[in-house]
Amino acid sequence: MDAVLEVVVNGERAKTRARTLAELLIELGYGEAKVATARNGDFIPFRKRDTVELSGGDTIEIVSPRQGG
């Protein structure tokens, strides 16, 4: 059984079994949605999300693009 990690997603504490940023996005229901992501303040491009491993205490930001001005 995988260990549960506690991370902070968009300012809210969350528990996850995800091991990578890509897995976390799927777990949170984002799937293949076009979003920008950062871990601990560092931008993570789409192509690298499946290689970015999560650690307990990580701060994750997920931002959806907005239209307008």
Within-domain flag for 69: no
Within-domain flag for 40: yes
Q: Give the CATH number, domain containing residue 43.
A: 3.10.20.30
SS3 20: strand
**Each residue's pLDDT tens digit, 21-31:** 999 999 999 98
Within-domain flag for 31: yes
In the chain, which ranges are continuous DSSP H helix? 21-27
Tell me the pLDDT band of 42, cut-offs 50, 70 and 90.
very high
Lowest mean pLDDT among 2-6, 37-41, 44-48, 54-58: 2-6
Q: Is 23 exposed, middle or buried (0-12, 13-18, 19+ CB in 10 A)?
A: middle
**Structural domain span for residue 22:** 5-63
